[in-house]
Amino acid sequence: MATKKFPCPECNTPLEWSTDNVNRPFCSERCKLLDLGSWANESYQIPAEISAEEDDYSSSMVPLENWKSPTIH
């Protein structure tokens, strides 16, 4: 049985693909947490961008609400 080797996505350390490695595809729990941390940082930026768009949206919705208001009709 040939052992498959692969680089750790976080630190590129060559690893053996083993079912004993609970931190797959990372070499260690540290690299796993580092990668999860970078993912958490990325996803943390997304709501900030959305809220900025929502803010723009709601400000453009104000004139629309005025148009639908019965006082204008």
Binding site for Zn ion (CB under 5 A): 8, 10-11, 13, 27, 31
Cross-strand partners of 16: 5
Residue 13 or 51: which CB sits closer to Zn ion? 13
On the CB side of 38, how many CA atoms lie within 13 Å of its CA?
A: 7
Stated as kind and residue range, the H or E segment containing 59 is helix 29-68
Least Å distance, CB 21 to Zn ion, is: 11
Neighbours of 8 (CB within 10 A): 18
Least Å distance, CB 22 to Zn ion, is: 14
Residue 11 or 33: which CB sits closer to Zn ion? 11
Residue 14 or 70: which CB sits closer to Zn ion? 14
